Amino acid sequence: MEIKIAEYSGYCFGVKKALKLTEEIIKKYNGDNRKIFTLGSIINNPGVTKKLAKKGIITVEKAEEIEKNSIFIIRSHGMPPDLVNKIRELKEVEIIDATCPFVKKTQTSASNLAKEGCFVVIIGNKNHPEVLGIKGYISNKKYMIVENEEDIEN
């Protein structure tokens, strides 16, 4: 039997960048006595999340679980700016942004379109962290999230 691996298999550039940055943070703050948190996993890979947990990364599901004076890494999917600001103000944490550059570009586009008064359409899962992050950049609140053909018809 012959097994062929697709030319473009493996992690995308943004995920690789986020993982590299996370490993650098782990090394930099090793022995610092400050905890390192993420809100949701750095990437969508339970195996990687477990490995990072063994190295000290604490994944939480609510911002309230982040401890004061800790380090907080923004996951590769990005986050809404108001949530990042809330964490910064209430938790007095050092924030490291591991958002994928392609996601950042989309966030910036959504923000610019909103500032121009445009209605923004986001195509994706309305509960996915990346979609929620992009939505958070639409200041005029004129947007629609399209998950399927029914959403377009409605």
Catalytic residues: 130
Q: Which stretches of 1-154 are DSSP H helices?
A: 13-28, 46-54, 81-91, 101-115, 129-135, 149-153
CB count, 10 Å around CB of 123? 12
Tokens (6 digits) for 69:
């004076």
Name the β-bridge partners of 98. none
